[in-house]
Structure 1
């Protein structure tokens, strides 16, 4: 894999496996440069494939965008969401782990949120993938909230999802991870309030 000297993005080299190279190129370019700002010409060039080869595998840009999102719609696909899937950790640690402030997790935000904002509902099939991913992530949070002993795990799960989305968006805007530090402390307070003695 080579390096694009202009962007620093890894560039797949030529040879067999054009479909995989094209998808890898789309993952890099769509995430770091944006879906709307990246044309199929750029993806093909980055993948060292012809446009004809690209269209043989992905007949439209929309099909390529869908393949890109589905390829990262996995437990390990979005780095900041991975903690909630770490079943070897206690549920509280998993819930707080999604607010990890390490800068190496990137500043470009959530690829699903980015797609929703960029495409603004113009591509219904892509929108459905985004919605399904977000709902599934919330359900994982709700499940972990039940494990941690929340009185109302669904409410807490949605509250943590709102905190997470806000911290992700602000981190992207500011280019620094301090929003995750504040969000994590707020999340800890919410978890304590939801699992501690009831005030009623």
Structure 2
């Protein structure tokens, strides 16, 4: 199968490897007798996950210059903002869950932020096995400095996009998450069980 990209001249690759602006890929069947197989393929559902990723990238794009000017990445800002709202500190796993960052990546992010003097680790008074992570005074100062800039950027975005659209989108996403958290059947459960092979004699 040959794949070609429509409007490829407008494609831009961002730091995460995602492609923006949205592109549409089309598939052409090989010009042989197997082409009838492709013509019988059912229409596919829209790629919801990719659409959400492209929307996320479009939202984050105006904020990146703010973070870069203050020596932060987008992921580091998420950590800063989460800890700003949790002055008593959180564990690494709690931060990873709140920021939706995988634990191995979170460990590297926190190590870098600790090296830069933005966060500090301490043993919990209630449980010595538990480490809590908090912002240092420098980290809190940076959070307080960036917060009004981030809020101002949201205001500028709302003027262009529309405050109502932002609210409708957030409400729709909340409903979608709630619906997806129900017990949705998995297609693999519909597959016939494989008969285990007998060992060769």
Q: Compute the TM-score of the two structures, normalised by the length of structure 2.
A: 0.25
The answer to which structure has the higher helix fraction is 1
The answer to which structure has the higher strand fraction is 2
Q: Compute the TM-score of the two structures, normalised by the length of structure 1.
A: 0.26
